[in-house]
Amino acid sequence: MESFIIEGNAPLDGVVTPSGNKNAAFPLISAALLTDQPVTLRNLPNIGDVRTMLNIVEDLGVEVTRHDAHNVTLRAGKLRTTTPDPTRFAKIRGALVLMGSLLAREGEVRLAQPGGDQIGRRRVDTHIMALQALGARFEYNGNFVLTAPELRGRDILLDEASVTATENAILAGVRAEGETIIRNAASEPHVQDLCHMLNRMGANIHGVGSNTLTIQGVKSLDGVEYTLGPDYLEIGSFIALSAVTRGEILIKNAAPEHLRMTLMVYERLGIVPEVRGQDLFLPDNQLLVVMPDIGNAIPKIDDAPWPAFPADMMSVTLVAATQATGTVLFHEKMYESRLYFVDRLISMGARIVLCDPHRALVQGPSTLRGDRQGISSPDIRAGIALLIAALCAEGQTVIHNIGQIDRGYENIEGKLLELGAKIKRVSD
């Protein structure tokens, strides 16, 4: 295993370009299975989870041509199996989106238990119910087995606005006979990317970006070249990083149209980037003062389905709040283990009360102290949050289990070194 050694308490300055959207990579790779023509994906993030996903589809029989670290061509001429390798599959949750495309293409799919971050219970029920509505038969014997000689369009109401369940319903619906309507659909940027790419392949999807998608099924799809948009979660992480280190950072190609709620929430903490076309500029010495609600009430930051504040932004925003003057309540509604990483922040000097598994009260500003003994990164988002905390803390911090961070953030120490950070990767 590897660790980071960080010397904190120094402003970071410079220019950074975010990688492609990690959460878009999985459904776009899965969509390539719906055609026997070449599908070229550009701006893929070169991270562990995406490399695992490419290995999984390669095992299925997809021809994968890696042009360089960020551009690949996939050709699913003939598949060898509809059962993804269970060892690889257990490493990432994003591979669940193979469910819809394999069912649509081959009429069957067999999946082991998925992996991913241990941040609480993560249901698969919505995926199954959506595919059953399209005509799939389901059997559970410790693994997930779905079969469907044919798929027929239906009017589907998802019981939750699950991103991957929406993507599975889309992937199956584009090849189902007739019209499919998906209500209470997720509409995150990566869901929009999937719809846009499929439409360029010959699909007929309307309502992209809304919570109601209407799909007219087609017999076949063509190949395509498609470029992934920037990772808005990485962009949000760099906004927090710039603010708490009192640095001046320009984030290139930030797609601010996908950041409206994120910028609104950061403004409540006294962090106000400047939108410059497609770039974001973070001036140094942000105000970092919590804006109270009317009547001087303690404000609340909570997460909800898009276009509300993303659940994956809660951890880094909580770290930013430790450096802002005032009190704010964080309410993480989705995952009961997401906030457990705050004990590491408390040990570094943060003033946080964990009210229950879903709520934490943060009072700032706090002077954070480095932790030479070492803290561990429990999941991707908590890992980057702890890294941001270490970069603004006084003294040295060691972060273990950084493979978790590598799963979601490409070459993070290289980008940080370019900004002037004192960070070193070492083998334990």
Element (H, E) at 279: strand 279-282
The whole-angstrom separation of Cα 317 and Cα 306 is 17
The whole-angstrom separation of Cα 42 and Cα 19 is 11
Band (115; pLDDT cuts 50, 70, 90): low
Q: What is the pLDDT of residues 252-309, one digit of tens each?
A: 999 999 999 999 999 999 999 999 999 999 999 899 999 999 999 999 999 999 999 9
- What average pLDDT does the segment 178-204 reach? 98
The whole-angstrom separation of Cα 237 and Cα 224 is 31
Two structure tokens written together for 401? 């289990």
CB-side neighbour CA atoms (13 Å) of 179: 7
Domain ranges of the chain: 2-19+230-427, 22-227
Instruction: Indicate the length of the chain as a whole number.
Output: 428
Tell if the pTM clears 0.85, that is, is over it: yes
Q: What angle do CA 105, 108, 114 make, to 5 degrees?
A: 105
The whole-angstrom separation of Cα 350 and Cα 69 is 39
Average of per-residue pLDDT values in the chain:
94
Has domain 2-19+230-427 been given CATH number 3.65.10.10? yes
pLDDT of residue 201: 98
**pLDDT over 70 (residue 399):** yes
Per-residue DSSP letter, 277: T
**pLDDT over 70 (residue 233):** yes
Q: What is the largest CA-CA distance in the chain?
A: 64
**pLDDT over 60 (residue 81):** yes
Decide if 68 is catalytic: no
**pLDDT over 80 (residue 394):** yes
From 49, 117, 231, 312, the catalytic residue? 117
Contact 171, 104 (CB under 8 A): yes
Element (H, E) at 336: none
Give the rounded percent of residues in the chain with a pLDDT score beyond 90. 87
Phi-psi map region of 366: left, alpha, beta (phi>0 left; psi -120 to 50 alpha): beta
**pLDDT over 60 (residue 215):** yes
pLDDT of residue 122: 60
Q: Do domains 2-19+230-427 and 22-227 have the same CATH topology?
A: yes
| Alpha-carbon distances, residue 5 vs 46, 203, 406, 418 (angstroms) | 23, 48, 15, 16
Give the β-pairing of 14-16 and 249-251.
Answer: parallel
The whole-angstrom separation of Cα 325 and Cα 418 is 29
- What average pLDDT does the segment 133-153 reach? 92
**pLDDT over 80 (residue 139):** yes
pLDDT of residue 336: 77
Band (117; pLDDT cuts 50, 70, 90): very low
The whole-angstrom separation of Cα 176 and Cα 150 is 7
| Alpha-carbon distances, residue 340 vs 225, 354, 399 (angstroms) | 41, 8, 16
Architecture of domain 22-227: Alpha-beta prism (3.65)
Two structure tokens written together for 382? 């908590």
Contact 194, 174 (CB under 8 A): no
pLDDT of residue 118: 46
The gap from C-alpha 291 to its chain's centroid, in whole angstroms, comes to: 28
Q: At residue 182, what are phi and psi to the nearest 5 degrees?
A: -110, 115
